[in-house]
């Protein structure tokens, strides 16, 4: 754990989203084509220490890791207490 004091820290995250297809037709697809982050930090600590903190925060971020590299997803569905096999979803 780095003990770097700061007086202000803010992170803005923006995505470019897309939606294709139709819910009614059953062919809807959605996702993101880009993600941007912007950090605002104020601290009296030495610049290099704060930059190291920011680098560690980004490199250790689970959300950024999942977005930047595809991870396998396994899904299960239960309907009214019954496990359901749903083609294209649970396989």
Q: Pick from 48, 37, 36, 30: which is nearest to 9 by CA?
A: 37
2 falls within a domain: no
pLDDT of residue 70: 84
Cβ atoms of 36 and 11 closer than 8 Å: no
75 falls within a domain: yes
pLDDT of residue 1: 82
Q: Give just the sign of the alpha carbon dihedral 43, 49, 50, 53.
A: negative
3 falls within a domain: no
pLDDT surpassing 90 at residue 26: yes
Q: In whole angstroms, give the CA distance from residue 89 to residue 48.
A: 46
Tens of pLDDT, residue by residue over 39-64, are: 999 999 999 999 999 999 999 999 99
- Region 6-24: mean pLDDT is 96
- Domain count for the chain: 1
pLDDT of residue 71: 87
Q: Which domain holds residue 27?
A: 8-84
Contacts 24+ apart (CB under 8 A), 57-65: 64/35, 64/37
CATH number at residue 32: 3.30.300.20
């Amino acid at each position: 754990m780095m003990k770097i004091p700061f007086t202000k820290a803010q992170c803005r995250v923006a995505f470019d989203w897309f939606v294709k297809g139709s819910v009614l037709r059953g062919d809807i697809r959605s996702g993101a084509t880009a993600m941007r982050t912007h950090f605002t930090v104020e601290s009296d600590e030495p610049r290099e220490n704060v930059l190291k903190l920011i680098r560690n925060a980004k490199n250790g971020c689970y959300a950024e890791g999942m977005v930047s590299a595809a991870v396998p997803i396994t899904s299960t569905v239960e309907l009214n207490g019954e496990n359901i096999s749903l083609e294209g979803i649970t396989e």
